[in-house]
């Protein structure tokens, strides 16, 4: 069976995108649909490659029964554009970095993640890195809503 391949992208791949990877994976595992998805995350920057998620992101996720401690940061690669079906940017800066690198024929794979949560009325998951612990809970709230929306979108657009 073919899988939907979903890549979450932020700047460092230590705060927002590993959180999104963990949340979305929990949603599909809880729905007993893990086999339908390949889920990953990456950063447009390379500074944190090889690092685990920020301790504040791990703690906020753990409070919601999500374990992201085994994830390790990596940078987006050229072959990601062919490998993934949905490439989801956390903010406009990362969206623009991706749009600057993607081959023209694959532009349609790239979206702002919060486009899948239109009721939120915001388009970006804010960078929590230089803020306090509260920022990480807010990030998770946004990510949960967009994860529900993404799953609904995938189900509505399912072929076969
Ligand atoms: P992320 O957060 O993009 O959500 O992983 C950041 C992590 C590190 C930095 C910026 C944002 N940094 O500048 O090191």
Share of the chain above pLDDT 70, in %: 98
Predicted TM-score (pTM) above 0.95: yes
Alpha helix locations (H) across the chain? 16-30, 55-62, 80-83, 92-101, 134-156
**Is the per-residue pLDDT at 134 higher than 80?**
yes
Task: Give the mean pLDDT of the chain.
Answer: 96
Q: Establish whether 10 is a catalytic residue.
A: yes
| pLDDT recorded at residue 132 | 81
**Is the per-residue pLDDT at 129 higher than 80?**
yes
Catalytic residue among 15, 16, 40, 58: 16
| Structural domain count of the chain | 1
Could you tell me the CATH number of the domain that includes residue 128? Answer: 3.40.50.2300
| pLDDT recorded at residue 160 | 58
Atom of ligand 1 nearest to the CA of 17: 4
Of 49-53, 128-132, 136-140, the range with the lowest mean pLDDT is: 128-132
Encoding tokens for residue 79?
């072959």
pLDDT bucket at 127, cuts 50 / 70 / 90? very high
Residue of 124, 129, 136, 139 to mutate, ligand 1, most atoms within 8 A of C-beta: 129
**Is the per-residue pLDDT at 26 higher than 70?**
yes
As a whole number, mean pLDDT of residues 155-160 equals 81
- Residue environment code for 17-56, b if the CB has 16+ CB neighbours within 10 A, otherwise e: bbbbbbbbbbbbeeeeeeeebebbbbbbbeebeebbbbeb
Q: Is the CB of 42 under 6 A from ligand 1?
A: no
| pLDDT recorded at residue 158 | 81
50: left (phi over 0), alpha (psi -120 to 50) or beta: left
Q: Is the CB of 68 under 6 A from ligand 1?
A: no
| pLDDT recorded at residue 133 | 79
Q: What is the DSSP letter of 36?
A: G
Domain that holds residue 136: 4-156
**Is the per-residue pLDDT at 1 higher than 80?**
no
Q: Which three-class secondary structure state does DSSP give residue 48?
A: coil
């Amino acid at each position: 069976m073919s899988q939907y391949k979903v890549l979450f992208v932020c700047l460092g791949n230590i705060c927002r995108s590993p959180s999104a990877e963990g949340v979305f994976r929990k949603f599909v595992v809880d729905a007993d649909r893990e086999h339908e998805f390949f889920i990953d995350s990456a950063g447009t920057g390379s500074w944190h490659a090889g690092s685990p998620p920020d301790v504040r992101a791990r703690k906020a996720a753990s409070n919601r029964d999500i374990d992201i401690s085994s994830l390790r940061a990596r940078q987006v690669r050229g072959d990601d554009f062919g490998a993934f079906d949905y490439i989801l940017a956390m903010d406009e800066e990362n969206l623009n970095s991706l749009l600057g690198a993607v081959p023209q024929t694959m532009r349609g794979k790239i979206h702002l993640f919060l486009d899948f949560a239109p009721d939120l009325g915001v388009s970006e998951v804010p960078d929590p890195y230089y803020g306090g612990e509260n920022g990480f809970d807010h990030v998770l709230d946004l990510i949960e809503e967009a994860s529900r929306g993404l799953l609904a979108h995938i189900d509505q657009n399912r072929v076969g």
